[in-house]
Structure 1
Amino acid sequence: MKLNHFLVGTATIVASFSVAANPVEVRIASHVSALSPLYQQSQLFASEVEKRLPGQFEFKLYPSGQLGTEKALITNVKAGAIEMISVASGVLKLDKKLGIFDLPWLFDSREHVERAMRGPLGQAVEQRIEDKAGVKVLGIYENGFRHILNSVRAIKTPSDLKGLKIRVSGGKLRQDVFRKIGATPQSVAWKETFTALQTHVVDGAEAATYGFYEQKQYEVAGYFSETSHVYTPSFLIASKNFWNSLTDEQRKVFAEVGHDITQQTYADAAALEQKYLNEMGKLTKINKVDLTPFKQATTSTRAKYEKKFGSDWLNLIEQAR
């Protein structure tokens, strides 16, 4: 009996040593830089999984498009060519109903977003992505609210945008929104936007705060207006090949961690944005915006979406206010 106990104990030690000596490498790739909230989210997820499953995984983070563009990363995770990705608006192209996150002034605040996404809306969005892409969504967090930076004047009312050439990302829907609030939308590659602002090819741009910060665009454009016109989630996604390779215990931990860190990711994103605003404010005038006239000018955009895709998700957002 003692020998049997010894053998069992020895086998356990050997098995534990084997796991520790041969952790599974897990790549988490993103198209955005280490200055983004997405990088923070990947770090937090990896750290928590490693704490709960010591020695079983070695996470390696690849920000800044090191493993491909956002579109390529989504294609590769669907194909099982990469274990995990942390992405944002590219996911919305998987299905037109997901375009709800391109609607203007959908959410009132970060708190409103969190209430909505941690309820039935988040569950519905997660299921939609998994059904359309054949992947496992481990978390829906924050990419951020988008604002306007420009070199001409503070934006306080839609009339302040009249005649301004604004670099706008996204498709026709967002360009249509900017036309309705008075701007002239321009298509410029993101990495060329600093030069375009500096040479006045464009008067301004719209993006999440960290985007302006990392590209240092605030150095050549003196007005930052907190328009919060669009909110974009971020998505932490695993390939089905990788997900299916995990044990039941490992899948349970991955899913729990993805859920458990959600509140912390929102707090971290808020702190990171404030840090960047503090730095940008040394060179740029930052102003709050009364959003009422902007919302009134774009009501037809939401009506078009509702007519085409129904009101179920919109109702869930309203209920979370």
Structure 2
Amino acid sequence: MPSFLGSLRQFVLAPKLSAVTFAERGFPGAGSAAAERLEAIPQAVVCGFEWGIAARDLWEVERRLELVEQEQRGFAYEGAAMAFTVRDAMAGGRGTRTRDLLLGPAAPHLLLAYIGIGFAMARLPRPLWRNIMPDLTGTLFYPTMTWLAVDGYGFDLAYFHPEKYIGKQRVPPPYPWEGRPDYFPRAVDQGIGRALWFTGGAEPETVTASVARFPSERRPDLWSGVGLAATFAGGASADGLARVRDAAGEHWPQLGLGAVFAISARVMAGHVPEHSALACEVLAGSSVDDAVAIAGRTGASPADADDTMPLYEQWRNRIRAELGAISGEQRKAS
């Protein structure tokens, strides 16, 4: 049972479940089967946030999260990471809840937990970002994939303020994440691209038209976000996914990149829904096993660090190149 202070934090900070529904947010497709699938994701995040913001200890949060069905469990951990990040910040940056969560029960859902930290960033003043990412030295993907926190920040901005960040295409001020303020807007756009899948109701024409309205230089990162969301969250048929890939044109490897990251995260969490495997096949032209292998053999190591781009983007470049090469070989074979 939460403490009085925990209940107060939950009352003040936790959004209502209805606040993330398509009907409440004015997204297309409210009431459809696709909308119900997609709405369950932010609702799972809200539940995880509520449990994390009010709980007395990590054990209590873990027990609640493990009761969530497997397909949605990672999203609930995403919300818990958001809550623990807020609580650590409220403790003057001295809290260890987020680190304990990420090194403990959230480890299989680490990539989504990073995104949850980004959700917290959207609600905290920037001076508190300095120590917001816990030190996970020695763990897989650290610090390379911490850019997913910035992705989460971008998603949150677009999901809850679509009129500004989708309609007016506002670009938030840069921030020296991992010492690279130049890459910060690109990682934000990757999150905005994920949000477009939701704000467009997973309707292929609506989503692709939204991407097309952005300046051309922003579209590649938006497409990678679309690919990640379409693969992880689902909501479209094989035909609909094929139309998204066709609309991406020369940027289809960006879609494939997003699919590879999403399927790798699903495998890491121990559950790959049918819709995720389907999206991987259509968007990346790859089976689940092959996509995981691509991600594994292209990862950038600290020895690859240079001043041209973050290790994260080096990894992304290698995945795109490999997908392009495989597609070329397939065309020759046919």
Larger Rg, first or second structure (1 or 2): 1
Structure with the higher fraction of residues in strand conformation: 1
Structure ranking higher in helix proportion? 2
TM-score after normalising by structure 1: 0.28
